[in-house]
Amino acid sequence: VQLVESGGGLVQPGKSLKLSCSASGFTFSSYGMHWIRQAPGKGLDWVAYISSSSGTVYADAVKGRFTISRDNAKNTLYLQLNSLKSEDTAIYYCARSSLQWWGQGVMVTVSS
Amino acid sequence: DVVLTQTPPTLSATIGQSVSISCRSSQSLLHSNGNTYLNWLLQRPGQPPQLLIYLVSRLESGVPNRFSGSGSGTDFTLKISGVEAEDLGVYYCVQSTHAPWTFGGGTKLELK
């Protein structure tokens, strides 16, 4: 099993960014997937979940601004981040449903 | 949202010492299906978290049996029977009984 995040970087407040998580080594379409973030020096913060049937759940802090989606044909999970705030600065991890497998994470920095 | 309170926030131990970490939930984590969705993770410095224990007490494959989990309802404990150097890092409990998923604040295990 391998999960590889990409798409992070430095972005200004109010702007948008789209993260990707490429999955391999398992039947991607059969599993729910999470995005979880970690601000610098802080603890883990659950962001969003998408089920194998594409049902979604969001943390209140990102509801209406972030969108989780998946493309089973490409074995890829996405997180669209809109209206970014400085408090969204964090390492963003994708993880498989039971948190058994995690990616290495991608850094998102929101700053002017 | 469910609040998970971990104690202590920091734990100093010598190699070979046995230690315990507590995780208390603001509401029962017993799901209507009879399962209790409480997991334990370890995050070593500079690494993504790894799953140690799931469903309160089930040891993840490949995790040494010096790790054990116990508890029910709102009170849970992770025990390490004989700390080894590779066990140092931050431990998190996480619940998925109630949406949204929530993490405890973490317990940092360091060498005395």
Please, how many CA atoms are within 13 Å of residue B14, restricted to the half-sphere of its CB?
Answer: 2
CA A78 from chain center: how many Å?
6
In the predicted model, what is the mean pLDDT of residues A65-92? Answer: 98
pLDDT for B37 equals 96
Tokens read off for A81: 């981040």
Best of B52, B93, B101 to mutate (most A CBs within 10 Å, chain A): B101
Nearest CB to A57 within list B90, B100, B103 = B100
Write out chain B residues lying below 8 Å of A58, CB-based. 100
What is the enclosing helix (H) or strand (E) of B13? strand B10-13
DSSP strand pairing (B18-25 vs B50-54): unpaired
Residue A108 is classified by DSSP as E
Strand partners of residue B11: B109
Taking an 8 Å cut-off on Cβ atoms, the answer to whether B48 and A102 are in contact is yes
pLDDT for B112 equals 86
Q: Across chain A, what does the average pLDDT equal?
A: 97
Tokens read off for B17: 């010492």
Strand partners of residue A62: none
SS3 A74: coil
Instruction: Inform me whether the pLDDT recorded for A84 exceeds 90.
Output: yes
pLDDT for B79 equals 98
Tokens read off for A25: 């080594």
Q: At B87, phi and psi to the nearest 5?
A: -85, -5
Write out chain A residues lying below 8 Å of B99, CB-based. 57
pLDDT in tens, chain B (112 residues): 999 999 999 999 999 999 999 999 999 999 999 999 999 999 999 999 999 999 999 999 999 999 999 999 999 999 999 999 999 999 999 999 998 999 999 999 998 8
The 3-class secondary structure across A76-103, one letter per residue, is EEEEEECCCCHHHCEEEEEEECCCCCEC
DSSP strand pairing (B58-59 vs B50-54): antiparallel
